[in-house]
Structure 1
Amino acid sequence: MGKNMIVYRNFRQAVPLKECTGRIKSLLSRIDGMSSSCYQNAVSLLMECGELETGVTDFLCPEKDEIFSTKIESCRELSMLAGLIVCRLWINEAIDLESLNEARRLLFKIESWKIKEILLSVPEGFVYYGLYPETYIEAARQFKEQMSPESVLVIGLRSIGTTLSALVSAQLKLLGCKVKPFTLRPRGHPFSRGIQIDSAAEEFLRRAGSCSVVVVDEGPGLSGSSLTGTLEKLSGLGFGEERTVVFPSWIPDGSRFLNESARELWPRYRKFTGEFDNLWVDSGRLASGFGMEIAQNLSAGMWRPHFIEDASFPAVHPHHERRKFLLKSDSKKCFLAKFVGLGRYGEYLVQRARRLAEGGFGPQVKELSNGFLLMKVIDGKPMSIPVPGDDFLGRAAQYCAFIRNKFPSKLTVTLDSMQEMIIGNVRAGVGEKWGRNAEAACGVSPDIYESEPVAVDGRMMPHEWIRTNGGYFKVDHLEHHCDQFFHGSQNIVWDIAGLCIEFRLSSGEVEELIKRYVELSGDKDIRMRLPFFRIAYLAFRIGYVSLAADSLSGDQDGRRFELLRDFYREELKKSLMAY
């Protein structure tokens, strides 16, 4: 059921080329030693160069890929130089000043190009899923040690494979391999992707049969077709399985891939990966960056028994949980280290966290370290339903008014897309006959939907609110307006609707919440917007919990998501009856 609903958001943004090169120039000026901050700047540099290369290559190759464009090769060289800097700093080697100067020279050339804008998407692994590029340095080391290649074609699959393949190429070059790196974009339906290349690239690959080939990507995903579609293309060009290897982010057995060809091809190829735990946790490197002892791993829902006393745990999908660690300082104070993203993506969320802490709504913020935000653990108890009283409703109204006032944003989902999600998810999750009601409910004017978008909280569940002796605080409050899921930035009514639904507020409590919010914000149109956003929120949530229930079928969290699906279905019916 869940796979037929709209849950994720495919968001690509047009960015001026000068903005991209400006970020790279700034980072180059901040790489000047071997400190922890210098290394983090180097990783940011690698990410920015990879994004630039991806955007330029997509701009120049809209329908099929070429690998001998001088512009593409310049971008590839810049990405590799960034990769060399990261590789050297990772093993505490001094920075090669010649590499920095060459990067500046290339950047100066790229700035002169007559390309106004490029399309960029978020590198999801680095931002959402805690994918660390150093695991690919380790994969390259293992590959060199075990297979002793001399000449290697390194193929990165765009988007994030661009960055990862630049790093792999740099490491193999440092290990003495002759490397030819380039990138390809798998094209076609998400469950059946393939490779399209020009005749010059095909001819080159047909003549490169003596080389080893490394295919680099963060996958495999649900279908496995991006990686295996590339392997299929290479096989057709004469590259045998014995010399073709894959550097993925993880190694499933492939039996559950949605693409039949992927299920058949995947087991036949050799794969190399590095492990985050080995490289960062077991080595002590992560704790050293924190300056505190790692007391407990709280990832994948393991935070629940630590913070929630009874067994009525909220449902979580382990694959959608950010990495988290409980830390203890010398003064015995407890901190939470939560992965918020590498590069500028993590830095953006740190600024949000600080503003929410200064406003008195979130935990105190210590620092950002290697993609993890360190926050003081709040001494209190997660809330549950029923609501304890009007004092909480007043606090929730203050929080929503604060978000509306302090975090204006741009709408990231069009009205047409929102209507498509609502109607499709209602039909799939509630029943075909309810589709007409959903269509009627979607008949709102753009003014109602597009008014005052903000970077919403997006997670107004009871257990995300902490009750303390000093009042109520909000946690898990940073990234849900800019994560991989559908809704993005919305009018603040998205959060108000979510709060009403998740806390099962009565009509009287809803009215009290709205009254207090209007008094604080002056937003008198909320009652007009609430019915539509309530349905939109429920439609998104039934899509998400259906997807989660299907993928976790048979375990406790799968059952918890099934119960939530039943709840959202009934709430949707109640709301849609008015139409």
Structure 2
Amino acid sequence: MLVYGDRQHTADPRALHAAIAARLARAATLPPGLERHAVLAAALIEAGELAQGIADADYAARGLDELSLAQDWAMALLLGCAGGLHRSWHDGAVAVPEAGQCLLRLPERIDTRLAEGFAFYALYPETYALAAEASGLPAATRVIGLRSIGAPLAAMVATGLGSRNPATLRPAGHPFRREIAVGPGLASSLTPGAPVAVVDEGPGLSGSSFGAAADWLAARGHPRGAIALFPSHAWPPGPMASPDHRARWDGMARHVCSFEAAVLPRLAGWVADLTGAAEAPPEDIGGGAWRRGPAEAWPPAHPMQERRKYLLAAGGRTWLLKFIGLGAEGERKADRAARLAAAGFAPPVAGLRHGFLVQPWLEEARPLDPAAIPREVLAAQVAAYLRFRARAFPAGPGRGAGLDALHAMARHNAAETLGEAAAARLDRWSPRDLARLAALARPVETDNRMQTWEWLALPDGRLLKADAVDHHAAHDLIGCQDIAWDVAGAMVELDLDPVLPVDPDLLGLLLPCYCAFQLGAWTMAQEAAPDAAEGARLRRTAGRYAARLRAALGA
């Protein structure tokens, strides 16, 4: 199934360095505390993007990873940010690092990749330095980060160990069979048999990035006992891991400091200025635990893809704390949430605190039951929401899949599930048709989640969108689309006729594409179901999208 995609942006490295300098200058003006700490985290993330982009530009030019002065400069800046963030975690009064100047010749443009762990999965870079501190590894350990996110995480591990001069590598190739190419200069800088720490998030389905690095180190004469892994969780690689990589994983030391150990104990204190004093520990409602009532009536959930979220009893009421992203990603999402709330389309926003959006929990709200609302009322409220979204959140180029990519996804997913004959019905859209429709599309920051369980019904009849800030920038291939994508979503999820006047030919293409994407997403979720009951819910959901796709194709 085709579901996931990378978020890649082109940037001027000098402008990115100037933005980091501005972050650090702002941090220097703030008093010690969480706000300054969050600004330091944002600077680290952006310095990680700079280091990753420069290293990837070198990799693209040479076809392998090798030492360079530009990479050394970027890593020195990144280490400075990591040191400042780590010391701030322990002592908020620490001095703020400076960005300095760059006198080197940098690439004109670099490609930076969104660090998904920081944006979606509450991966706090501070935990990697804490894991390094507790590891017992010597300061002489050579730290290797696996790009993309491995660049800033390696800087945090090096800071925690007191190590200097970490390196980064780019695993490339098939997602389940990554390989590493290293030049002689970088290779010779690693002493065979000396202790090495390999740093990345994951492992995921295969753990092949960690596996590729371990393969290369083993070929260089590093025994398993000399290789330590710094992953983002304590679980082994998933079912697509090779037997060799799984065996090697089991034989290497692994060092993890979990969110629950490091961040969760501080969370209530972080938000206390907004919520008042906590009356009980935060209650985890992530991973599907937000569902209430009889289990047989629960909507489906994909626990591995859900954001962290908690209920907090504080100040005489209940609050929702939801992770929306560290650094600039979180700032953008918080601004979007506030604008939606001000327009009356989303719950109120109290503030953002180091990645967590703070909102009052609306006890009186209930999940949407479309049958309980007159269709014309439901259609009018959905139309007003989508009209506002299309006007308020325009998207620049390259922030979503093109129509050709959506068409290819739909054809692939349809063939996988319905067969080639059904998928062939998508061939009625020729490349010329797709180009013509692409010229009509006006991408915006679409909602991309129109399911009934994403809406809240208030006692006065108003509807609020419960989760509307970041699915256009999620870890999938859809991204920003013409508002017709959400119109198609409302047709499928809420059984409405088109609620806005959109081009009928464009809608005619996007409707099967929407069904095919949802079919792929929920089919893959089913493969990772945590138990039989969730698996059954996911199977029924995937089956519903298969039926809608068949109908949309006339198959």
Q: Deviations over 1:220-248 (max 9, x none)?
A: 11111100110111011111111210000
Aligned pairs for 1:178-577 within 5 A: 178-205=163-190, 208-209=191-192, 211-254=194-237, 256-281=239-264, 283=265, 285-291=266-272, 292=275, 293=278, 294-305=281-292, 308=293, 311-330=296-315, 332-378=316-362, 379-386=364-371, 388-389=373-374, 390-410=376-396, 411-441=399-429, 444-450=433-439, 451-470=441-460, 471-503=462-494, 505=495, 509-510=496-497, 514=499, 517-518=500-501, 525-552=502-529, 554-577=531-554
Q: Deviations over 1:346-376 (max 9, x none)?
A: 0000111111011110011111111000112
Question: 2-side partners of 1:251 and 1:310: how far apart?
Answer: 29
Question: 2-side partners of 1:438 and 1:297: how far apart?
Answer: 43
Question: 2-side partners of 1:150 and 1:12: how far apart?
Answer: 34
Deviation at 1:51, TM superposition (A): 0.6
Q: Deviations over 1:205-224 (max 9, x none)?
A: 2xx13531100000211111
Counterpart of 1:267, as a letter, is: D
Contact 1:154-1:214 within 8 A present in 2 as well:
yes
TM superposition score normalised by structure 1: 0.89
Q: Which of 102, 112, 130 in structure 2 is aligned with 1:120?
A: 112
Q: Deviations over 1:252-289 (max 9, x none)?
A: 234724333322321111100001111122x3x11101
Contact 1:256-1:263 within 8 A present in 2 as well:
no
Counterpart of 2:181, as a letter, is: Q
Structure 2: 5+ residue stretches without partners: none
3-state SS of paired residue (1:85): helix
Question: 2-side partners of 1:67 and 1:441: how far apart?
Answer: 45
TM superposition score normalised by structure 2: 0.93
Question: 1-side partners of 2:6 and 2:70: how far apart?
Answer: 27
Deviation at 1:533, TM superposition (A): 1.2
Counterpart of 1:474, as a letter, is: K
Counterpart of 2:117, as a letter, is: G
Deviation at 1:64, TM superposition (A): 4.2
Q: Deviations over 1:299-329 (max 9, x none)?
A: 1111112xx5674111011110000011223
The 1:86–1:258 alpha-carbon spacing in structure 2 relative to 1, beyond 3 Å, is: same
3-state SS of paired residue (1:289): helix
Q: Which residue of 1 aligns with 2:32?
A: 34
Contact 2:400-2:477 within 8 A present in 1 as well:
no
Q: Which residue of 1 aligns with 2:99?
A: 104
> How many percent of aligned residue pairs carry the same amino acid?
29
Structure 1: 5+ residue stretches without partners: 519-524
Deviation at 1:95, TM superposition (A): 2.3
Counterpart of 1:160, as a letter, is: I
3-state SS of paired residue (2:145): strand
3-state SS of paired residue (1:327): strand
Structure 2 residue 7 is the aligned partner of structure 1 residue 11: yes
The 1:343–1:255 alpha-carbon spacing in structure 2 relative to 1, beyond 3 Å, is: closer
Question: 2-side partners of 1:168 and 1:474: how far apart?
Answer: 39
**Cα RMSD (Å):** 1.9
Contact 2:403-2:434 within 8 A present in 1 as well:
no
Q: Which residue of 2 aligns with 1:521?
A: none
Question: 2-side partners of 1:31 and 1:572: how far apart?
Answer: 51
The 1:426–1:387 alpha-carbon spacing in structure 2 relative to 1, beyond 3 Å, is: farther
Q: Which moved more, 1:545-554 or 1:48-57?
A: 545-554
3-state SS of paired residue (1:119): strand
The 1:221–1:254 alpha-carbon spacing in structure 2 relative to 1, beyond 3 Å, is: closer
Question: 2-side partners of 1:119 and 1:495: how far apart?
Answer: 29
Deviation at 1:88, TM superposition (A): 0.7
The 1:194–1:383 alpha-carbon spacing in structure 2 relative to 1, beyond 3 Å, is: same
The 1:365–1:447 alpha-carbon spacing in structure 2 relative to 1, beyond 3 Å, is: farther
Contact 1:169-1:181 within 8 A present in 2 as well:
yes
Contact 2:176-2:240 within 8 A present in 1 as well:
no
The 1:286–1:24 alpha-carbon spacing in structure 2 relative to 1, beyond 3 Å, is: same
The 1:356–1:254 alpha-carbon spacing in structure 2 relative to 1, beyond 3 Å, is: closer
Q: Deviations over 1:478-511 (max 9, x none)?
A: 11000111211011111111111112x2xxx51x
Contact 1:152-1:180 within 8 A present in 2 as well:
no
3-state SS of paired residue (1:481): helix
Q: Which of 148, 151, 155 in structure 2 is aligned with 1:162?
A: 151
Counterpart of 1:85, as a letter, is: G
Counterpart of 1:36, as a letter, is: L
Deviation at 1:179, TM superposition (A): 3.4
Contact 1:486-1:540 within 8 A present in 2 as well:
no
Question: 2-side partners of 1:469 and 1:384: how far apart?
Answer: 13
The 1:29–1:250 alpha-carbon spacing in structure 2 relative to 1, beyond 3 Å, is: same
Q: Deviations over 1:442-463 (max 9, x none)?
A: 6634343451111011111111
Deviation at 1:171, TM superposition (A): 1.7
Question: 2-side partners of 1:497 and 1:201: how far apart?
Answer: 51
Deviation at 1:202, TM superposition (A): 2.3
Counterpart of 2:159, as a letter, is: A
Q: Tell me how many residue pairs correspond in the alignment.
A: 539
Question: 1-side partners of 2:77 and 2:238: how far apart?
Answer: 38
Counterpart of 2:33, as a letter, is: S
